[in-house]
Amino acid sequence: MNIRKSVFFLLDFVKGGKVKKHLKDIGQINRDKTGELQKEYLNKIMQYACENIPFYAGIDSGDIRNFPVMDKSIYNENKRSVVNPQYDLNKLYFTSTSGSSGVPFKTYQDVNKRKRNNADLITLLSSFGFETGEKYVFIRSWVSLYHLSKFKMLKQNFIAIDVNTFDDNKKEELRRLLHKDKKIKAIISYGSALEDFVSYLENKNDKMTDTNLKLISSSADALADSTKARLEKMFGCPVTNRYSNEECGILGNTKTGTTEITLNTASYYFELLDLEKDEPVKPGEIGRIVVTDLFNRAMPLIRYDLGDLGISRDDGKCIKSLVSLQGRMDDVLKSSDGIVISSVTLSTYMQEFQYVERYQLRKNKDGSLEMLIVSKQNEFSEIAKILQGIFGDKYNIYVKKVGEIPKEKTGKYKEIKVIK
């Protein structure tokens, strides 16, 4: 009997059963093949924003194209006018993420939005057989905003591992723990940390199929298809790429047997727009992922440019899935012919070089490209030749062997980095 699950829903019932109502609502929207329920919520949040949020006053709420496309800098420049004046900020939940300039971007969420996020998470995990209250390992950057307490870990039944200190000693501790503790049912982690962990296990020649894991879920940074396959082989359980962020919540995830990302259209409305203008792209074209949160009335995020790039089979006006994520807008490079080269594009070329343990392509201030490589080999002329072919004669390209590639402050690795 899952006592934690029973207690969770008992407490939810006492508080009005909001999570359970959201779970029912998510199920109804997901079963609605017409998309009418999603449109109904979209119309409601647009109308609500125009009537209650000073920034949107005077906008015709009848068409989402009447709303401006927003990014972190625009929200920061209009801090007070984008937040609902009816709410007491001290009673709202808030999240804080770094902006492209390093300036923190703070968003506010009301109680109903937080309950929706809870329901989204339960819906995702339960689709893989993981039940509320079951034990899991959570690997992420545990900074001061997410200060940990033993009570919190006990209450939510998870083991916290800081990605910034996830060295070989910590990997060995986790390896032994997973063999020993059969109550652990899932691992939720940054994709880069999972890549490091599976490489460590392969070097140990360990087979982890005796664990009771129901699910491994990557978050924050995307998991390469090859790493996903290695993890599935190693652990014998489903591995999903979870697409999410702090300011919104769970935006989508991959399902068993596919690398395509099914978007969370029960809680968000998605557009895919051109890289240089706010027009929808055609199916199969790379575009900027723009999201509208259907449930946050404290600070409605309408047409919020996530800074992420993707490709979809759908028309960019309204997308329901992504064939692939293509990295961050800030980290995209262009070839001499103007062709967009994303981190995903680059990885398709680099995956054939099995001797490369990790890499990072940097665009320096002088315009040159420098590929940093961690490898036991010393000869990289073939890689230099491939890169020159991709980017063309416009660029001076250098390949350099290094001992390690530093993580970003967030604890993630970047495959492409523009030095500013």
Provide the β-strand partners of residue 150: none
The single-letter code of the amino acid at 117 is N
The answer to whether 225 and 259 have CB atoms below 8 angstroms apart is yes
Where is pLDDT greater, at 256 or 351?
A: 351
Residues 343, 326: Cα–Cα separation, whole Å: 6
Residue 337, Cβ density class (10 Å: 0-12 exposed, 13-18 middle, ≥19 buried): exposed
Give the predicted TM-score (pTM) of the model. Answer: 0.86
pLDDT at 227 over 80: yes
Give ∠ CA 403-406-411 in degrees, rounded to 5.
140
At 148, the pLDDT band (50, 70, 90 cuts) reads low
Exposure of 348 by Cβ count < 10 A (0-12 exposed, 13-18 middle, 19+ buried)?
exposed
Strands 250-254 and 261-263: what pairing?
Answer: antiparallel
Backbone angles phi, psi at 239, to 5 degrees: -125, 125
What is the secondary structure of 343-363 as a DSSP string?
Answer: HHHHHHHHTT-TTEEEEEEEE
Average pLDDT over residues 173-198: 93
DSSP 308-345: EEEE-SS-TTS-SEESEEEEEGGG-EE-TT--EE-HHH
Q: Output the six-digit token pair for 138.
A: 């959570």
pLDDT for 154? 66
- Return d(Cα 369, Cα 39) in angstroms, integer: 45
Query: Considering the chain, what percentage of its residues have pLDDT values greater than 70?
Result: 95
Query: Which residue ranges make up each domain of the chain?
Result: 3-326, 332-418
Could you list the beta-strand ranges (E) of 175-259: 184-190, 215-219, 239-244, 250-254
pLDDT in tens, 351-410: 889 899 899 999 998 889 999 999 999 999 999 999 999 999 888 999 999 999 987 776
- At residue 231, the pLDDT reads 93
Which tops the pLDDT comparison, 255 or 253?
253
Averaged pLDDT of the chain: 89
What CATH number was assigned to the domain covering residues 3-326?
A: 3.40.50.12780
Question: pLDDT (tens digit, 9 = 90+) per residue, 31-71?
Answer: 998 999 999 999 999 999 999 999 999 999 999 999 999 99
Lowest mean pLDDT among 74-88, 99-113, 236-250, 381-395: 99-113
Whether residue 19 is predicted with pLDDT greater than 60 in this model: the reply is yes
Decide the pairing of beta strands 215-219 and 304-311: unpaired
Residue-wise burial string across 381-408, b where 16 or more C-beta atoms lie within 10 A, e elsewhere: eebeebbeebbeeebebebeeeeebebe
Q: Report residue 30 as tokens.
A: 């997901």
**Whether domain 332-418 has CATH 3.30.300.30:** yes
How large is the average pLDDT for residues 233-256? 91
The whole-angstrom separation of Cα 409 and Cα 412 is: 7
Could you give the CA distance from residue 207 to residue 202 in angstroms, rounded to a whole number?
A: 8
**pLDDT band for position 113 (50/70/90)?**
very high
Long-range contacts made by residues 247-252, C-beta under 8 angstroms, separation at least 24? 247/95, 247/97, 247/105, 247/107, 247/301, 247/304, 248/291, 248/293, 248/301, 248/304, 249/116, 249/117, 249/120, 249/121, 250/117, 250/120, 250/121, 250/124, 251/291, 251/306, 252/321, 252/322
Residue 20's identity, in one-letter code, is: K
Which pLDDT band, with edges at 50, 70 and 90, does 145 fall under? very low
Q: Determine the average pLDDT of the residues in 228-256.
A: 91
Low-confidence winner among 23-32, 180-189, 401-410 (lowest mean pLDDT): 401-410
Q: Give the pairing type, strands 135-140 and 158-162.
A: parallel
Rounded distance between C-alpha atoms, residue 13 and residue 174, angstroms: 36
Furthest C-alpha separation in the chain: 67
Residue 310 and residue 275 in contact, taking contact as beta carbons nearer than 8 Å: no
Residue 2 has pLDDT above 80, yes or no: no
What is the arithmetic mean of pLDDT over 139-163?
A: 71
Counting every residue, how long is the chain? 420
Query: Which has the higher per-residue pLDDT, 292 or 222?
Result: 292
